[in-house]
């Protein structure tokens, strides 16, 4: 059965932890869907994980919709969430509503995610019948304003501000809330204080769900991984080994062989 936003609330009510993973293309989405992943996020992290940008900031609406359509074609049961890119909901409430609608009408998504949204924009989109996932704490779209990728909410004043923000978004009707780059103790306080399911990334073990970037989980990154990311495979090494073996066979004249040739 296809996963809906109500299922995530049921997970929280039952104390059943769940996962969300990013997906940027059809084959990955299909594999994750068949593996039973309930939520696929077409993240603007496509920028620095697939498109070669240094940050998520250059990603456009057209690029997001392109990747969202591919993921939607690969997902039969998972809830597909489209990530609203930088400056796609900042100019006006009407712009935010229009771009959110494009994710559902053109991208095939079931819901959208807003990174560090204004309460007015989030509430207005919810009022139009578009499910909204919130995102507070460390926001990659605000990396320059934050002075880098820094843990948020370490002071009691900032922690209180994030808790208030979470509760306000909860009352605005969001269906889930990503908590990124905050202390585990604060994530536990927020998770307890809101009815909506929380999904952590770099927020400790007390959230209702956890999300990772698929490239980090599969070991497809370059350089070091964030502290909160755990590679469960080394696909970069696997790919390198396979390519080197192919090149060696071609150079040695052992590929293609009889089994891989036509007569």
Cα distance between residue 35 and residue 165, in whole Å: 34
In sequence order, the 6+-apart residues with CB closer than 8 A to the CB of 243 are none
CB atoms under 10 Å from CB of 49, counted, come to 20
- Which residues does 95 contact at the CB level (< 8 Å), separation at least 6? 88, 89
Q: Which pair of tokens denotes residue 118? A: 């204004």
In this structure, the dihedral spanned by the alpha carbons of residues 240, 211, 21 and 69, taken in order and rounded to 10 degrees, is -120
Pairing state of beta strands 111-113 and 132-137?
Answer: parallel
Among candidate residues 95, 180, 185, 258, the one labeled active-site is: 180
In whole angstroms, what separates CA 12 from the centre of its chain?
Answer: 19
State yes or no: is 180 an active-site residue. Answer: yes
Catalytic residues, which ones? Answer: 180
């Amino acid at each position: 059965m296809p996963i809906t936003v109500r299922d995530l609330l049921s997970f929280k009510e039952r104390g059943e932890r769940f996962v969300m993973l990013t997906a940027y293309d059809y084959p990955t989405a299909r594999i994750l869907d068949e593996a039973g992943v309930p939520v696929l996020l077409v993240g603007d992290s496509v920028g620095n994980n697939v498109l070669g940008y240094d940050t998520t900031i250059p990603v456009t609406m057209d690029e997001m919709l392109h990747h969202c359509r591919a993921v939607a074609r690969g997902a039969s049961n998972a809830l597909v969430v489209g990530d609203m890119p930088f400056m796609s909901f900042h100019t006006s409430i009407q712009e935010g509503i229009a771009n959110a609608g494009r994710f559902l009408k053109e991208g095939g998504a079931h819901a959208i995610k807003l990174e560090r949204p204004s309460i007015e924009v989030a509430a207005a989109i919810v009022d139009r019948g578009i499910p909204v996932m919130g995102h507070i704490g460390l926001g990659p779209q605000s990396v320059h304003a934050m002075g880098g990728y820094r843990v948020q909410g370490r002071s009691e004043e900032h922690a209180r501000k994030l808790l208030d923000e979470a509760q306000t978004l909860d009352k605005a009707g969001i269906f889930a809330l990503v908590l990124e780059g905050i202390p585990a103790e604060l994530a536990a306080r927020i998770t307890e204080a809101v009815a909506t399911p929380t999904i952590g990334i770099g927020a400790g073990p007390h959230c209702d769900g956890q999300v990772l970037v698929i490239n980090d989980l599969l070991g497809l990154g370059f350089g070091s991984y964030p502290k909160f990311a755990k590679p469960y495979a080394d696909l970069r090494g696997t790919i390198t080994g396979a390519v080197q073996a192919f090149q060696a066979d071609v150079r040695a004249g052992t590929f293609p062989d009889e089994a891989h040739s036509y007569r």
